[in-house]
Amino acid sequence: MDIFLLQQQPSGGGGFGNFQFIFLGLMILVFWLFFIRPQAKRAKSQKKFIEDLQKGDKVITLAGIHGTVNKINEDGTINLEISPGSYIKMEKASISMEMTNNLKKAAATGTK
Protein backbone atom coordinates (compact mmCIF):
# COMPACT_ATOMS: atom_id res chain seq x y z
CA MET A 1 0.00 0.00 0.00
CA ASP A 2 2.85 2.40 0.67
CA ILE A 3 4.03 1.99 -2.92
CA PHE A 4 1.01 3.86 -4.24
CA LEU A 5 1.68 6.83 -1.93
CA LEU A 6 5.28 7.18 -3.05
CA GLN A 7 4.52 7.29 -6.77
CA GLN A 8 4.95 10.71 -8.38
CA GLN A 9 1.91 12.44 -9.63
CA PRO A 10 2.08 13.46 -13.30
CA SER A 11 2.96 17.16 -13.57
CA GLY A 12 0.58 18.87 -15.94
CA GLY A 13 -0.36 22.49 -16.43
CA GLY A 14 3.08 23.77 -17.41
CA GLY A 15 1.62 25.29 -20.55
CA PHE A 16 -1.11 27.02 -18.58
CA GLY A 17 1.51 28.88 -16.49
CA ASN A 18 3.09 30.25 -19.65
CA PHE A 19 -0.33 31.36 -20.88
CA GLN A 20 -0.85 33.29 -17.63
CA PHE A 21 2.38 35.23 -18.14
CA ILE A 22 1.50 36.02 -21.75
CA PHE A 23 -2.00 37.09 -20.71
CA LEU A 24 -0.60 39.30 -17.94
CA GLY A 25 1.81 40.91 -20.39
CA LEU A 26 -1.00 41.58 -22.85
CA MET A 27 -3.14 43.11 -20.09
CA ILE A 28 -0.31 45.46 -19.12
CA LEU A 29 0.20 46.42 -22.76
CA VAL A 30 -3.51 47.15 -23.26
CA PHE A 31 -3.64 49.17 -20.03
CA TRP A 32 -0.66 51.22 -21.16
CA LEU A 33 -2.06 51.80 -24.67
CA PHE A 34 -5.53 52.86 -23.58
CA PHE A 35 -4.94 54.62 -20.26
CA ILE A 36 -1.38 55.70 -19.51
CA ARG A 37 -0.23 56.82 -22.97
CA PRO A 38 -3.26 59.04 -23.78
CA GLN A 39 -3.09 60.65 -20.34
CA ALA A 40 0.60 61.43 -20.82
CA LYS A 41 -0.12 62.96 -24.24
CA ARG A 42 -2.90 65.09 -22.75
CA ALA A 43 -0.64 66.28 -19.94
CA LYS A 44 2.11 67.17 -22.41
CA SER A 45 -0.25 69.18 -24.63
CA GLN A 46 -1.73 70.95 -21.55
CA LYS A 47 1.78 71.92 -20.43
CA LYS A 48 2.61 73.29 -23.90
CA PHE A 49 -0.69 75.18 -23.97
CA ILE A 50 0.07 76.82 -20.59
CA GLU A 51 3.61 77.74 -21.69
CA ASP A 52 2.30 79.32 -24.93
CA LEU A 53 -0.18 81.67 -23.19
CA GLN A 54 0.38 85.29 -24.16
CA LYS A 55 -1.02 88.66 -23.22
CA GLY A 56 -4.31 89.25 -25.02
CA ASP A 57 -5.35 85.59 -25.31
CA LYS A 58 -9.00 84.96 -24.59
CA VAL A 59 -9.30 82.01 -22.20
CA ILE A 60 -11.78 80.10 -20.06
CA THR A 61 -10.81 78.81 -16.62
CA LEU A 62 -11.71 75.43 -15.17
CA ALA A 63 -14.34 77.25 -13.10
CA GLY A 64 -15.92 78.62 -16.29
CA ILE A 65 -14.70 82.22 -15.96
CA HIS A 66 -14.17 83.89 -19.34
CA GLY A 67 -11.45 86.50 -19.59
CA THR A 68 -8.45 87.91 -21.38
CA VAL A 69 -4.87 87.39 -20.25
CA ASN A 70 -3.62 90.81 -19.14
CA LYS A 71 -0.25 89.91 -17.62
CA ILE A 72 1.82 86.76 -17.17
CA ASN A 73 3.60 86.79 -13.81
CA GLU A 74 6.91 85.10 -13.00
CA ASP A 75 5.43 83.07 -10.13
CA GLY A 76 3.28 80.87 -12.39
CA THR A 77 0.19 83.06 -12.20
CA ILE A 78 -1.61 85.32 -14.63
CA ASN A 79 -3.70 88.44 -14.28
CA LEU A 80 -7.00 87.79 -16.01
CA GLU A 81 -9.24 90.66 -17.08
CA ILE A 82 -12.80 89.43 -16.64
CA SER A 83 -14.49 92.74 -17.48
CA PRO A 84 -13.04 96.16 -18.37
CA GLY A 85 -11.02 97.27 -15.35
CA SER A 86 -11.66 94.07 -13.29
CA TYR A 87 -8.67 91.77 -12.83
CA ILE A 88 -8.14 88.55 -10.92
CA LYS A 89 -4.90 86.74 -10.25
CA MET A 90 -5.07 83.03 -11.10
CA GLU A 91 -2.76 80.07 -11.45
CA LYS A 92 -1.82 79.25 -15.04
CA ALA A 93 -2.84 75.64 -14.41
CA SER A 94 -6.44 76.75 -13.85
CA ILE A 95 -6.88 77.60 -17.53
CA SER A 96 -8.89 74.96 -19.39
CA MET A 97 -7.26 73.93 -22.64
CA GLU A 98 -10.37 72.18 -23.98
CA MET A 99 -12.83 74.99 -23.26
CA THR A 100 -10.41 77.65 -24.53
CA ASN A 101 -9.87 75.72 -27.77
CA ASN A 102 -13.65 75.39 -28.18
CA LEU A 103 -13.95 79.15 -27.67
CA LYS A 104 -11.34 79.77 -30.37
CA LYS A 105 -13.10 77.38 -32.77
CA ALA A 106 -16.44 79.11 -32.19
CA ALA A 107 -14.84 82.52 -32.77
CA ALA A 108 -13.23 81.27 -35.99
CA THR A 109 -16.55 79.99 -37.36
CA GLY A 110 -18.44 83.08 -36.22
CA THR A 111 -20.87 81.25 -33.90
CA LYS A 112 -21.42 81.60 -30.19
Residues 39-64: tens digit of each pLDDT: 999 999 999 999 999 999 999 999 99
Distance between CA atoms of residues 105 and 96, nearest Å? 14
Query: Is 112 found in the same domain as 69?
Result: yes
Nearest CA to 90 out of 65, 54, 56 is that of 65
Burial class (CB in 10 A: 0-12, 13-18, 19+), 59: buried
5 domain residue, yes or no: no
Nearest CA to 89 out of 78, 99, 98, 73 is that of 78
Q: Look up the CATH number of the domain holding residue 104.
A: 2.30.30.140
What domain count does the chain have? 2
Burial class (CB in 10 A: 0-12, 13-18, 19+), 78: buried
Residues 58-105: tens digit of each pLDDT: 999 999 999 999 999 999 899 999 999 999 999 999 999 888 888 888
Domain that includes residue 93, residue range: 54-112
